[in-house]
Amino acid sequence: MNDEHPNAALMRRLFDAFGRRDGAALAGMFDHDVVWRVGGPTPMSGEYRGWRDVVLFLRGTTRETDGTYYSSLVWALGGDGRAAAVYRARGARNGRKLDIEQLLLCDVVDDRIVSATAIPFEADAFTRFWS
C-alpha cells in the first residue's frame, strides 16, 4: 500500500519529466496560469507566468548550461493544496559548476501546479553560477 500523498507524487512526476526533458509532460502538470518564481539578482531570476513561459524557463536552464543542468529529487512531501520538494541542482556554465540543494514550494489545485517558488539553500553559489 502506498500512502504517498498525490501532491508528493506530482512532485516525483515533475522531476522525472524534467530529467527526461519532456516538455509536454511538464506542461501537463501546470495550470494554464501557473506562476513560477525564482529569487535573486540573476538573469534566470524572476516571475514566469503561464505554462508556456514556465516550460521555456525550464528549457532555458538546459540551454544556458549546454545541457549539463540536471535536478535530482531528494524528497517530496504533499498535503491538501500544497507540495514541497528538496532537490539537488547540478550543472556547469562559463567555467563555473553548480551543485546545491534547493527547495521548491508549490500550490496545487486539481492535480496541477498553480504556483511554484524555488529557493536555493546556498544563495551565493546560485547567484555566482547564474550571473
CA 43 to chain CA centroid, Å, is: 16
Identify how many contiguous H helices and E strands the chain contains and give both numbers.
4, 6
What pLDDT is attached to residue 1? 53
Q: How many CA atoms lie within 13 A of 84 on its CB side?
A: 6
pTM: predicted TM-score of the whole model, two decimal places? 0.95
What pLDDT is attached to residue 2? 72
pLDDT in tens, the chain (131 residues): 578 999 999 999 999 999 999 999 999 999 999 999 999 999 999 999 999 999 999 999 999 999 999 999 999 999 999 999 999 999 999 999 999 999 999 999 999 999 999 999 999 999 999 99
Distances (CA, A) of 65 to 3, 15, 105: 37, 18, 24
The full set of domains in the chain, from first to last, is 6-130 (3.10.450.50)
Cβ proximity of 116 and 106 under 8 Å = yes
- Only one residue has cell 553559489, namely 125
